[in-house]
A and B are shown apart, each in its own frame.
Chain A
């Protein structure tokens, strides 16, 4: 009897290993191995000989103009980081209160707002970005509107501000949704308990709502920061190709068939993002711990 039982258990286990096998194989071959290829290409030259030249090229290429020397790729990387961080902060400042309002609205209003937030998300981001290009162009809708009001035209297309507007527009829903989903699940009893124990509205927010919403905030930050730091379409369209972001640099090298240098930049981007995510994790863990005291 026991033998039979063991036997059947073993066949069950065998079966579950079998169904996992295709995915194990697939994810190893198409997730892990390609990442290894990024590192391999990053550290080899065109003849697949080991070299660190691609990496050093990223850190040492300089650009001399009007007697001023700037580090070409470091500057590009710094600009990407700067614009992505600004966009993320704006998304957070706009998205957090929006999520809070949504979570506290009535059932029907919640459902409607959720659908409304999701519609732009489902539209292709190329189209969304393109829409902003037609709005912000010198002869675009915004300037047409300003002229009809008798105001001065503004030149915004091709500036960093235009790129930031595009990033905020494209990725705002990715900030709102994770924060909303955490807040909507929050236990109302906790808030009531805090109030019963003498907390005012502000300290309920500070001591209960905010710490509990932090996982959503962290999620939102990563979901906005990662696509905005690596974008190349937004900067091409709204920045009019006047300045490069790291995504543009990678895409440009891909188009020029410099795969090894493209891989090197992708590799550096990946490492920086990994470090950033770890820091974010530590930081929120620290904040979360602090909030509970």
Chain B
């Protein structure tokens, strides 16, 4: 039993990491070959950093992800506060159902549905190109919101409801009670929600593909366009960089996550 489980674990992790390892190795290949390693070189990295379109797409992705993160986190946190205090059962159930839709629907349907509406609205307004940065931002906020709510709402429900009420009884305005009492209490949820929103937005291809205008290219769309034609190992260089950025972020979050448990977050 023990050896069997060791073999399975080894197989799973080799299966998961072999392709990534291969990408990393071949990103340092001098030749263009995908199967024969000739000589070590940084050639494809140099090529990558000369590729204006890719660099712009990285910038675009970061702008889009940051904006969707901020907007969905603020709106999602506010929504969670509202949902948490809803008395009406059917309203609450309706909000739950609606919030679940973008998470259970296939991305292609979320993408198509938003695209159809944008195209229709564009028709009504008489514009030829209705898809733009704005439509993409709307789409990203829409699919990020449920992830924020999913993180924040449970934290609110676990929280002692009498705390903000006490603050209000002591003369705080509801606004002030919220920022002084509730926010520090639920901040882990808000932070996780924000991080999830950011990464979902960063990673999304399908929904962006259907809602993006011609002018605005994010990194996943750029990768898609690059892999449409025959590919140079420039792509591998890009993949390698992404891999190490992710690895660094995960290690940092594990590291800081461990610390947070020991020290209570400072108030205020």
Query: Do chains A and B stick together as partners?
Result: yes
With a cutoff of 8 Å between Cβ atoms, the chain B residues found around residue A97 in the complex are: 5, 8
With a cutoff of 8 Å between Cβ atoms, the chain A residues found around residue B110 in the complex are: 34
With a cutoff of 8 Å between Cβ atoms, the chain A residues found around residue B38 in the complex are: none
A-B contact count (CB 8 A): 213
A98 to chain B, nearest CB (A): 5
Is residue B58 within 8 Å, beta carbon to beta carbon, of the partner chain? no
Main secondary structure of the interface of B (DSSP, over half): helix
Is the pair B79, A38 in contact by a Cβ cutoff of 8 Å?
Answer: no
A residues 97-139 in Cβ contact with B at 8 Å: 97-98, 101, 111, 113, 115-120, 122-128, 130-132, 134-135, 137, 139
Is residue A164 within 8 Å, beta carbon to beta carbon, of the partner chain? no
Is the pair B8, A134 in contact by a Cβ cutoff of 8 Å?
Answer: no
Is the pair A24, B34 in contact by a Cβ cutoff of 8 Å?
Answer: no
Is the pair A27, B99 in contact by a Cβ cutoff of 8 Å?
Answer: yes
Is residue B116 within 8 Å, beta carbon to beta carbon, of the partner chain? yes
Is the pair A237, B227 in contact by a Cβ cutoff of 8 Å?
Answer: yes
B residues 105-158 in Cβ contact with A at 8 Å: 105-110, 112-117, 119-120, 138-139, 141-142, 145, 149
Given A22-B78, A124-B203: A118 in contact with B250 (beta carbons within 8 A): yes
Is residue B243 within 8 Å, beta carbon to beta carbon, of the partner chain? yes
Give the CA-CA distance A30 to B134 in the complex, in Å: 13
Is the pair B85, A273 in contact by a Cβ cutoff of 8 Å?
Answer: no
Given A23-B76, A34-B117, A254-B112: A270 in contact with B105 (beta carbons within 8 A): yes
Is the pair B203, A226 in contact by a Cβ cutoff of 8 Å?
Answer: no
Give the CA-CA distance A38 to B224 in the complex, in Å: 25
Q: Which of B5, B107, B145, B231 contacts A26 (CB 8 A)?
A: B145
With a cutoff of 8 Å between Cβ atoms, the chain B residues found around residue A125 in the complex are: 203, 205
Given A34-B114, A127-B223: A115 in contact with B98 (beta carbons within 8 A): no
Across the two chains, which residue of chain A brings its CB closest to B15?
A: A169
A202 to chain B, nearest CB (A): 11
B1 to chain A, nearest CB (A): 9
Is residue B170 within 8 Å, beta carbon to beta carbon, of the partner chain? no
Number of chain B residues close to chain A: CB under 8 A: 75
Give the CA-CA distance A119 to B13 in the complex, in Å: 11
Is residue B159 within 8 Å, beta carbon to beta carbon, of the partner chain? no
Give the CA-CA distance A124 to B23 in the complex, in Å: 13
Is residue A11 within 8 Å, beta carbon to beta carbon, of the partner chain? yes
Q: Which of A34, A113, A127, A270 contacts B23 (CB 8 A)?
A: A127
Number of chain A residues close to chain B: CB under 8 A: 80
Give the CA-CA distance A163 to B113 in the complex, in Å: 26
Is residue B168 within 8 Å, beta carbon to beta carbon, of the partner chain? yes
Q: Which of A18, A30, A119, A250 contacts B112 (CB 8 A)?
A: A250
Give the CA-CA distance A128 to B220 in the complex, in Å: 12
With a cutoff of 8 Å between Cβ atoms, the chain B residues found around residue A18 in the complex are: 82
User: Can you give 29 contacting A-B residue pairs, CB < 8 Å?
Assistant: A16-B81, A16-B82, A16-B85, A20-B82, A22-B75, A23-B79, A32-B98, A33-B117, A38-B112, A38-B113, A40-B116, A97-B5, A97-B8, A111-B254, A116-B13, A119-B20, A119-B247, A124-B220, A127-B239, A128-B20, A130-B227, A131-B19, A134-B34, A141-B35, A144-B36, A169-B16, A237-B227, A250-B112, A269-B106
Closest 5 interchain pairs by CB? A20-B82, A23-B79, A230-B106, A34-B113, A131-B19
Residues of B at the A interface (CB closer than 8 Å) are 5, 8-9, 12-13, 15-20, 22-23, 26, 34-36, 75-76, 78-79, 81-86, 95, 98-99, 101-102, 104-110, 112-117, 119-120, 138-139, 141-142, 145, 149, 168, 174, 199, 203, 205, 210, 219-220, 223-224, 227, 231, 235, 238-239, 242-243, 246-247, 250-251, 254
